[in-house]
Amino acid sequence: MSQLLDIVLVAMTLSLAVWTVMARDVFSATVGFMAFGLLLAIIWVQLAAPDVAMTEAAIGAGASGVLFLRFIARRDALGASIGKPRPDDAPVPTGLRIACGALCGIVAMALGIAVLALPSPAPSLAQAAAASLPRTGLGNPIAAVLMAYRALDTLLESVVLVLALIGIWSLSPDSAWGSSPDPFPSPAPAGPLTLFARLLPPVGIIVGIHLTWIGATAPGGKFQGATVLAAMWLLAMMAGLARPPAIGATWLRVLLAAGPTIFLAIGFSGWLFADAFLAYTDAAAKPIIVLIEAVLTPSIAAILAMMLIGPPALAHMRAPDT
């Protein structure tokens, strides 16, 4: 029964991937990609990886979907403002397509041979990760890997998020630097979006905090929780109930940088109190990890939300009036 489900899942995922890559118009391809992300999340549940499944559903399908749909809406608006559709790029000739298809097939075949010839028994770090689990005081082995065993990766990841946001902000023109990103076009004030934006956030904020908190002992964690929190903020901004903050605002900068900074500071304090960078003393491990997650979650939520809003003043500065 479960095997049948797996086969159906794979068939649907592959068809949606073909659709995403080959569909005629961009909007259908994007919607296909979002459905593809949700199916992948189910595959991860089947592969006994509920934490990954939640991340994929929240970020791979949800946040990416918002990002892509926003892009398409902006591009259509830009095309409409200059009174002509965007010129199509020249399509690749058929002969070249076939050659590319053959080459990609060869790459896939080589990978496929590698997958079928994986070494047995499988090399695994599971024992090492499980051995250090009791010392962290956490019940979820994945949270223990993220926060203790491979905490350096998580630290660098939070820094990468900040860098990506700086990159996005740096696309704003000089004259608009430090101002607010363009608000979303306001919907009807009494429409369903406004209703949702009033009803959902109280529930969503609690769900987000719960996901972060429960991540220590069960599937969940700060990235999943932070994405839910970011979605709630975005929802309020999309409905026009909250205005996007100015990117030069001190409180926003402090909020964005607080998580990685405190994580880094705790990392350095590891040299003083334990024996290495990012090392925790056994007694304090759990409180320290909870503290890091508590400051990292709001920062990640704010970074994700600001990423999805985009840089300030793009639309009205460049769109010509003609």
Long-range residue pairs from 213-216, CB within 8 A, at least 24 positions apart, any chain: 215/51, 215/140, 215/143, 215/293, 216/138, 216/139, 216/140, 216/143, 216/286, 216/289, 216/290, 216/293
For the segment 10-69, give every residue that binds other proteins (CB under 8 A). 10, 13-14, 17-18, 20-22, 26, 29-30, 33, 36-37, 40, 43-44, 46-49, 51-52, 55-56, 59-60, 63-64, 67-68
Judged by CB under 8 A, the stretch of 161-169, 206-214, 247-255, 272-280 that binds other proteins is 161-169
| Identity of the residue, 57 or 266, whose beta carbon is nearer to other proteins in the bound complex | 57
> Shortest gap between Cβ of 35 and other proteins (angstroms)?
12
**Binding-residue total with other proteins (CB under 8 A):** 97
| Identity of the residue, 173 or 189, whose beta carbon is nearer to other proteins in the bound complex | 173
At position 308, the amino acid (one-letter code) is L
C-beta separation of 268 from 279 below 8 A: no
Does position 1 interact with other proteins (CB under 8 A)? The reply is no
- Tokens 């569909």, residue located: 23
For the segment 120-159, give every residue that binds other proteins (CB under 8 A). 120-122, 124-127, 129-130, 141-142, 144-146, 149-150, 153-154, 157
Record the tokens describing residue 294, joined without a space.
Answer: 């508590």
| Identity of the residue, 125 or 195, whose beta carbon is nearer to other proteins in the bound complex | 125
For helices 151-169 and 285-309, give the axis angle rounded to 10 degrees: 20
Residue 207 to residue 204: CA distance in whole angstroms: 5
> Shortest gap between Cβ of 265 and other proteins (angstroms)?
21
> Shortest gap between Cβ of 194 and other proteins (angstroms)?
26
C-beta separation of 16 from 38 below 8 A: no
| Identity of the residue, 10 or 206, whose beta carbon is nearer to other proteins in the bound complex | 10
In the DSSP assignment, the letter for residue 24 is S
- Among the listed residues 8, 80, 108, 203, the single contact to other proteins using CB under 8 A: 108
Go through 29-45 and write b for each residue having 16 or more CB atoms within 10 A of its CB, e for each that does not.
bbbbbbbbbbbbbbbbb
Does position 280 interact with other proteins (CB under 8 A)? The reply is no
> Shortest gap between Cβ of 239 and other proteins (angstroms)?
22
| Identity of the residue, 60 or 194, whose beta carbon is nearer to other proteins in the bound complex | 60
Residue 315 to residue 313: CA distance in whole angstroms: 6
> Shortest gap between Cβ of 45 and other proteins (angstroms)?
11
Give CA 18 to chain center in angstroms: 23
Residue 232: burial class (beta carbons within 10 Å; 0-12, 13-18, 19+)? buried
Does position 174 interact with other proteins (CB under 8 A)? The reply is no
One character per residue 183-222, x = contact with other proteins (rule: CB under 8 A): --------------------------------------x-
